[in-house]
Amino acid sequence: MKKNFFWRVSLILSATVLSILFFLPSTSLRSSMPEWLKDYGLILGLDLQGGVHLVYEVDGDKAAEITAERIAGSLTNIFKEKGVDAKAELLNLEINVKPGGDKAEKVINESYPNLELVTKTEGMLVYKLSDKEISSIKDLSADQALETIRNRIDAFGVSEPTIMRQGASEIVVQLPGVKDANRAIELVGKTAVLEFKLLDEENPLALELPGSIEADKEGELLAQYAGRIPEGDEILFEKVSDDLGNTIKRVYLVKKQSMMTGDFLTEARVNIEQNQPYVGISFNSTGAEIFKQITTNNVKKRLAIILDNNVYSAPSINEPIAGGSAQITGSYTMDEAKDLVIVLRSGSLPAPLKMLQNVTVGPSLGKDSIDAGIKAGLIGALMVIIFMIVYYKLSGLIADFALVLNIVFLIGVLSVFKATLTMPGIAGIILAIGMAVDSNVLMFERMRDELRLGKTPRSAIDSGYDKAFWTIFDSHVTTLITAVVLFQFGTGPIKGFAVTLGWGVLINLFTALIGTKTIFDIITSKYDIKRLSI
């Protein structure tokens, strides 16, 4: 019996100490905790600590247009390889092949059998993507965007973000604890199309363009030179700081043709030179060979490194560059350099994102929620504690002890597994506490029945626990199954509710069947109890 006591008491004490220990990093004592312990602690959700709630819509039509554009470009290359005199162009989501002919049609049917032939004349073939293909592209683009955003947020270092699809094309992003909403929004929405393009410095217009303009004058400059930009060229800008620290835009005349894209990128990292951060990038073997050819064939020319149509740097090629590495330099801060690395590593979005909702939840609202929750919890707990003591006397006090253990263990488990506590999660805790009270009431009523039959306190306690065991076990198992189903198929707040309810049910079984029984066993073994206070 003593050995049995020892392991039960040891188990309860160990669980209590560990629960408090893993919760401490969530308090003001965090700075004095060992480094390994700082990884744990209670994480508050968006509704409790504030943060950012964003809803995006993936532009599926643009994804379909990009796909059609790629097919048109690919067809032109295939025609060239197979010696077919034809060229494909995209016009209003239709792929026009000029001149048409049986050879061109055969190549298209072999290369892209899913394309639908719209019209066929002697001079031109017109194809389009099928409705089924467009639907598939839209669905796939939403999935790809979700995964890309998830990778970026993970690299951003946000704890317990919620990132999920909503409907056919919407993506919900919740970032608890994020205070710099603008930085997060820019990181998520950046498309990250990396391209290398040559400057067209030999064109007379390049000499006519101003070297730099004010930061908000891009539209005026483009309007001024509209109609004069050579076919195959475009005007792009680079954001820099002048000697006074003001932001200005350098102006470049750039060839539209991409010499190389970021598809061959294998690594991106932040480096520092002369206290200025820059991003070093590396290519795979194929990319390294292409980059070497580009730099070999264009010595003394300037190569612009462009991300999302913004020039980041435009260095001169002094000599062929082998080894497959390059640098993206610019006037940006360390945070901007890190964000650039994140988007390059996580890849580009398959289509632009349109922001539908941007809600910043302030910490004050979270604090109000916590204060209201704590107030309600304390009042409820106090009422339950008083009721149990009044109605069940000393036994009620033992049940109250089990309730306290319940809360301590549950907070400890959430801290160990770094689960996020939200308002629905608090509702799950309150429900679990209610079930704990119910369990004790069931056992105490069985014990009263046994005492009325004339049994001794020791015998009544054992019989009461034995008879109530399966009722308590059944109710807890069915609730646990419900929590598992909610966690499996629910999202966001529903999962938070399921987590606290599930763990609360498991902890209830421990505290109700082992915790309170241990207290009764200690009392009845140490004292000669003639009458049970219940």
Q: Is the model more confident about 15 or about 534?
A: 15
Is the pLDDT at 528 greater than 80? The verdict is no
CA pair distance 289, 276, nearest whole angstrom? 29
- Of the listed ranges 46-50, 171-175, 273-277, 477-481, the one predicted with least confidence: 46-50
Residue position matching structure tokens 């990132």:
163
User: What band does 409 get if pLDDT is binned at 50, 70 and 90?
Assistant: very high
Token pair in block for residue 395: 């036994």
Cα four-point dihedral sign 381, 384, 389, 395: negative
- Is residue 195 within a helix (H) or strand (E), and if so which, with residue range? strand 194-198
The set of residues, in sequence order, having a beta carbon less than 8 Å from that of 504 and lying 6+ positions away, is: 406, 410, 428, 429, 431, 432, 433, 435, 436
Please tell me whether the overall predicted TM-score, pTM, comes out greater than 0.85 for this model: no
What pLDDT score does 489 carry? 81
**Cβ atoms within 10 Å of 446's Cβ, excluding its own:** 20
pLDDT of residue 344: 76
Confidence at residue 254, expressed as pLDDT on a 0 to 100 scale: 94
For 57, the enclosing helix (H) or strand (E) is strand 51-58
Q: What is the pLDDT at residue 362? A: 66
Higher pLDDT, residue 1 or 241 = 241
Q: What is the pLDDT of residue 1?
A: 52
What mean pLDDT comes out for the span 397-419? Answer: 87
Confidence of residue 364 (pLDDT cuts 50, 70, 90): low
Q: What is the pLDDT of residue 281?
A: 84
* Contact partners, residue 486, CB within 8 Å, separation at least 6: 494, 495, 497, 498, 501
Please give the mean pLDDT across all residues of the chain: 83
Segment 74-107, tens digit of pLDDT: 788 788 878 888 888 888 788 888 887 788 888 8
CA distance 266 to 263: 9
**What integer pLDDT is reported at residue 481 of this predicted model?**
92
Q: What is the pLDDT at residue 200?
A: 92
How does pLDDT run across 176-231, given as a tens digit for each residue?
777 777 888 888 877 777 788 899 998 899 989 998 898 888 889 999 998 889 88
Q: How far apart are the C-alpha atoms of 25 and 13, rounded to whole Å?
A: 20
Phi-psi region of 331 (alpha: psi -120 to 50; beta: other; left: phi over 0): beta
The answer to whether the Cα torsion of 256, 260, 262, 263 is positive or negative is positive
* Mean pLDDT of the 489-502 span: 81
Is residue 242 scored above 90 in pLDDT?
A: no
pLDDT higher than threshold 60 for residue 307 = yes
Percent of the residues in the chain that have a pLDDT greater than 70, as a whole number: 96
Mean pLDDT (whole number) for 124-132: 88
Cβ-in-10-Å burial (0-12, 13-18, 19+) of 463 comes to middle
Per-residue pLDDT tens over the stretch 245-268 = 788 899 999 998 788 877 787 888
Reported as a pLDDT band with limits 50, 70 and 90, residue 422 is confident
- Report the percent of the chain where pLDDT is more than 90: 8
